[in-house]
Structure 1
């Protein structure tokens, strides 16, 4: 049983800040926040955690009603933000996805703080969504470790093999220390790539199993699936 899970922003794609633009527009239009605080970190966190922290910082009541208002408003504004911002698919991504798909023995999924709907919007915009039949998303979780556990459980169900979890090779690929931490929380190998917001030195301090400059350097991680 073999699974490869990918983060989105800074790992698969760079959107030119489209997510943060849509966040800011949503808080401005729906909650009257002229400028969202820079004290709340976006990097490596779930959209739910970010949105709830922004609500607290700006004196907005944190409840499910306001969460649903934000979630729907954000999804409505993201497509225009993707058009407005200049982004790209990151080096090596398409080749690695093609190689994994051609193998036929590795499930390819997502492990992301994005909402499922906005993950589809982002990856669909860059022509990548169809590579990912499942994943763990940030709709209901504030902690990345919880999202990782959901993604792995989903993979186990898709494999449908008795005892599969015990013999499961999982690789998580991401661009922040949070990706490394959540990978290790579920017993997965962590591949770190400094194509997002953190440098190679910063990522090295989180002790990934493999640190590469770009996903063009994929030979070692692919070899893990041959064992």
Structure 2
């Protein structure tokens, strides 16, 4: 039986961390390099942490050397658990039930397609007790372009399943137009959800296969992913 691969974004899709990732990044920049904001000009949604950090380094005239990157990463990882504990975040509506139902189906493989650094993704998902659902994925450690993260996630799905994974068997689920675009880059079908910073109108313009205000209607979301619902117009 051909597996359905579901690649989930994290922030704004699975959970709202209350800005914990940004808070930890800001603390790391302060601790390691002694710099503070402003950070408002650095766009974050739908981008990779590598791209965001590169912009932050350039903005503050920090050399993007391996030594500086490693020092920043070590401090970021050290601050993230406390940021998650102190910022007011939560798992988004319907997510726990959706992941439980999909995980119970042997024909479904769950992965990640996220701009988060891999270690940051792990810490966030462990904090919200969602980590056990995901066995592979694409992360924001290396690539600046989310399309490249999608390509890497697809290769990881192939490696995990040890078989070819046609694009039409893959779903990319996210809360930004970039999630839809990167899904299209690998020939995947897409679901957009307006639980991040983009409203439904903006997401509709990206032309996902399905669009939801949120995932509280668990059965409908699962039916879409399992091919049991009619495609959006």
TM-score interval for Structure 1 and Structure 2 normalised by the shorter chain? over 0.9
Structure 1 pair 92/61, CA: closer, same or farther in 2 (3 Å)?
same
Partner of 2:42: 40
Structure 2 counterpart SS, 1:97: helix
Match of 1:132 among 131, 134, 143: 134
- The Cα offsets for residues 113-150 of structure 1, whole Å up to 9 and x where unpaired, read as 11111111111111101111111111111111111111
Match of 1:15 among 9, 14, 17: 17
1:59-98 matches, cutoff 5 A: 59-98=61-100
Say if 1:169 and 1:225, in contact at 8 Å, map to a contact too: no
Alpha-carbon distance in 2 for matches of 1:9, 1:146? 19
Structure 1 counterpart SS, 2:18: coil
Structure 2 gaps of 5+ residues are 229-233
User: 1:60: how far off?
Assistant: 0.8
User: 1:165: how far off?
Assistant: 2.8
- The Cα offsets for residues 162-185 of structure 1, whole Å up to 9 and x where unpaired, read as xx2337500011001111111111
Partner of 1:181: 181
Match of 2:7 among 5, 8, 23: 5
User: Which TM-score applies when normalising by structure 1?
Assistant: 0.94
Say if 1:46 and 1:112, in contact at 8 Å, map to a contact too: yes
Alpha-carbon distance in 1 for matches of 2:157, 2:88? 33
Quick check: 1:213 aligned with 2:216? Answer: no
Structure 1 gaps of 5+ residues are none
Match of 1:148 among 135, 147, 150: 150
- The Cα offsets for residues 161-211 of structure 1, whole Å up to 9 and x where unpaired, read as 3xx233750001100111111111101111000101111111111111110
Which is further off, 217-226 or 197-206? 217-226
Structure 1 counterpart SS, 2:47: coil
Number of residues of Structure 1 aligned to a counterpart in Structure 2: 225
Alpha-carbon distance in 1 for matches of 2:105, 2:16? 27
Structure 2 counterpart SS, 1:191: strand
Q: CA RMSD in A?
A: 1.5
Structure 1 pair 223/81, CA: closer, same or farther in 2 (3 Å)?
closer
Quick check: 1:158 aligned with 2:148? Answer: no
Structure 1 counterpart SS, 2:165: helix
